[in-house]
Amino acid sequence: MEKKKVLIVDDSLTTRKILRETLEKDPQIEVIGEARNGKEAVEKAFNLKPDVILMDIQMPVMNGLEATEKIISSYSIPIIIISSVLNKNQMYSSFNALAAGALDIMLKPNSKTEWQRFSKILVGKIKLFSEIKRTTLRKPFSYQDLYHAPYKDIVKFGNHFEVVAMGASTGGPGVIKEILALLPSTFSLPILIVQHMTAGFIESMVEWLRTEVKLPVKLAEDGEPVTPSVVYIAPSGKHLKVNRRKRMVLDSSSKPVNGHRPAVDVLFKSVAEVYANHSIGILLTGMGEDGALGLKQIKQKGGYTIVQDEKSCAVFGMPKAAIEINAHIKMLSPREIGEELINLTGVKNEAQKNIISR
């Protein structure tokens, strides 16, 4: 079996050494190079052609965000952000790197025990991400793309919608940002989101989204009513559900579903039961099958279901699983998903002004 070739990018010699020793314990992985800054990373990405790049954010000469943007746009190599404890600027840069096409973000360990657990997860991600077709890696999104893009007329679905439920995994943060950034502050529906993410980063994602979109964004809280015009993100380690009183329920005692807690299927199935044909379900990029059955249930209850198209997905696994069981009504790009939500809820003109003002 051919080894997975990895390029390590970090300005810390110690970190590079630990990462190299950690990875080379696995016989299927080969560290083919190291870079001390983003400029070296871009050059070595071209010369060495690694299967996966591990990218630090704070570095001299060229930071990890700039390097990620250049590498994704030029070479489409899968990138995992390996970040130290986040201050606000580093947090924003890390999530902007995800929006630019990096596939995942992981926190550098602080102890030997943490390194052991970290290494197992990292090795697994390297093996998975090395198999991704490079043509599917997403390029940075620009609002310039929308200035002359007309909103498509759609046939009204006939429902009075009350909620949007959205699920994503690998490649999701940038897509979620892209969709939410299209929506004006007058968007009337609550949006409930499950994003699979390494523990410790979901709070940072909420903070980042607050700076990028006009709707209020917050972590979901147990017992909180589902309120119009608010974006709720499921916290780490807790399934997010909606009960009959249309309040959110956070469940940390139930087992993971499809290997995840929170799981998209859990959210979608509860939304289907409570909101039925007044619900919109959206399944975005990600590995595995989480969300497919729940999306099918929303459709069976008369709700409106959308999957992200293959071309714009970093990983087409979750949308593909939904398509295979005919759980979707439409397959759209992130921009088209935003447009569809705008058209379905009648805020087209406001949204156009929102886009042009950016």
Q: Which helix (H) or strand (E) holds 194?
A: strand 191-195
What gap in Å lies between CA 329 and CA 342, rounded to an integer? 17
What gap in Å lies between CA 252 and CA 241, rounded to an integer? 11
Active site residues: 169, 196, 290
SS3 of the chain: helix, strand, coil, percent, to 5: 40, 20, 40
Contact status, residue 28 vs residue 5, Cβ threshold 8 Å: no
What gap in Å lies between CA 31 and CA 163, rounded to an integer? 47
Which two tokens mark 64? 């990890």
Residue 218 buriedness (CB in 10 A; 0-12 / 13-18 / 19+): middle
Helix (H, G, I), strand (E, B) or coil at 169: coil
Write b or e for each residue in 235-248: b if 16 or more Cβ atoms lie within 10 A of its Cβ, otherwise e: bbebbbbbeeeeeb
